[in-house]
Amino acid sequence: MAAPSCGAPGLWVRGSWQRLGNLFTFVSKPLCSAAAASRPLDAQRLAERLRAQKQEQKTKKPVPTNPVQRRVQELLRFTEQLQRVHPNVLAKALSRGLVHQDKDLVVINKPYGLPVHGGPGVRLCISDALPVLAKMLHGHKAEPLHLCHRLDKETTGVMVLAWEKEVAHKVQELFRTRQVTKKYWAITMRVPVPSAGVVDIPIIEKEVQGQERHHKMTLSPSYCMDNGKIVRVRTSRNAHLAVTQYRVLSSTLSSALVELQPVTGIKHQLRVHLSFGLDCPVLGDHKYSDWNRLAPQKLSACILKKMGLPQSKARHIPLHLHACQLTLPALQPGKEELNLVCKPPRYFVHSLRRLGLKMPSRDQNGDEEATHSGAQ
């Protein structure tokens, strides 16, 4: 006669331990699984899993059918991808795009929309990523990298960092004494006339009166026209000497690619000289395209058509100003000068192609020739 139940379903003792053994086997499996799950996850696998989940979420987003919405989404993807990430993610992106590295210096390609230093309302800046970047390049005991100069938040391109504070001070002194040659590329509304020259007009900061009071840099010329005559005027004590060399590399009827070489280093110098000195503001410069107000840049119908945007979406166009080249004198005797060249960001190249402008490339002899930007 069979023995009564012991309270656990399926637990019968009938002169054989087979049924009881099955129960032990059944119970032991989840216990083993729980033990495995309690083990700490490998950090790399966890990071990969999180990245995969984020990528999956991105792919689930519906693609806009409206061409204007697609264009806006494209611009946001190109310009906002690194502005709201963890400093570790930013450091990883910077390490992948290094321009140069040696025992003294590290040169990065600064992304769009990231300030160099922190401040009120700043969620992420280049300085936040420097300790992590140093560890990625030199191991966990590496000291943080030091900034040698700065670029504006919206400006992209060559940026020099130093391993040691003494080297950083030495590079900063080279910048201060104007021994560093800097070259920028800018896409401009309209074409500068003449096609090459020097803008030598002092710059001063002034308050703009209106509904929204704010401060802007503007021109403080030493001369003015009076009854058809050029008359020298008294220069303000607060005005700064500002000199910019420029030349047009490529142009259409409505826009141009301009190479800029600042001789001085005044705040927003290139943007002010282009907008107020040459009447050719930088594409995407929503601050200096109009003196009296802070508003999205007013674009011509021709540029809007080529960019694939209506005027109501012009606010999404980023500043097209790129630090493309920097020549640094030798830091030590017996060494050669350092020529650092940095490719423009994707949105810059796409805009060149849309506007029908050509981007110069350097051949092996260092001579410049114009080639279509699509070939890059």
The answer to whether residues 244 and 325 touch, using CB atoms and an 8 Å cutoff, is no
Separation between Cα atoms, residue 100 and residue 108, nearest integer Å: 7
Pick left, alpha or beta for residue 244 (phi over 0 → left; psi -120 to 50 → alpha; otherwise beta): beta
* Residue 370 dihedral angles phi and psi, to the nearest 5°: -85, 130
The DSSP symbol for 235 reads P
DSSP string, 116-181: SS--TT-S--HHHHHHHHHHHHH-TTPPPPEE-----TT-EEEEEEESSHHHHHHHHHHHHTT-SE
Is 128 assigned a catalytic role? Answer: no
Alpha helices in the chain (DSSP H): 18-38, 43-60, 67-79, 87-96, 126-138, 165-176, 269-272, 301-307, 346-355
Q: Identify the active-site residue in 104, 152, 200, 290.
A: 152
Separation between Cα atoms, residue 323 and residue 99, nearest integer Å: 12
Separation between Cα atoms, residue 282 and residue 318, nearest integer Å: 10
Q: Which residues are catalytic?
A: 152
